[in-house]
Amino acid sequence: EREFTEKGKFEWSETGNVITLTPRSSDGSRMYEVEADRLIQLDARGNRITGKLADRYILKRKDMSDTGPSNPGHGGH
């Protein structure tokens, strides 16, 4: 499990179920299908990624109150 932050812009599709993320670093856009509690990364044509590693392209919502301290070594001492 990894956590990362990237700044940029996002845009909703006309159907309202896909977002396109465009990072500031201009590494190219990424599309995600939006479901109730997860995002599914889509390929460049807007299709779901298939195959043995398809589950690695699914981002699941995590309750932030269950994560504990984000930097345990920086307790503000």
Print pLDDT tens along the chain (77 aa).
677 788 899 999 999 999 999 998 877 899 999 999 999 999 999 999 999 999 999 998 887 665 555 555 444 44
pLDDT of residue 22: 92
Q: What is the pTM of this model?
A: 0.70
CB of 25 within 8 A of CB of 36? no
Q: How far apart are CA 55 and CA 53, in angstroms?
A: 6
14 close to 5: Cβ distance less than 8 angstroms = no
pLDDT at 67: 54
The answer as to CATH 2.40.128.640 being correct for domain 8-63 is yes
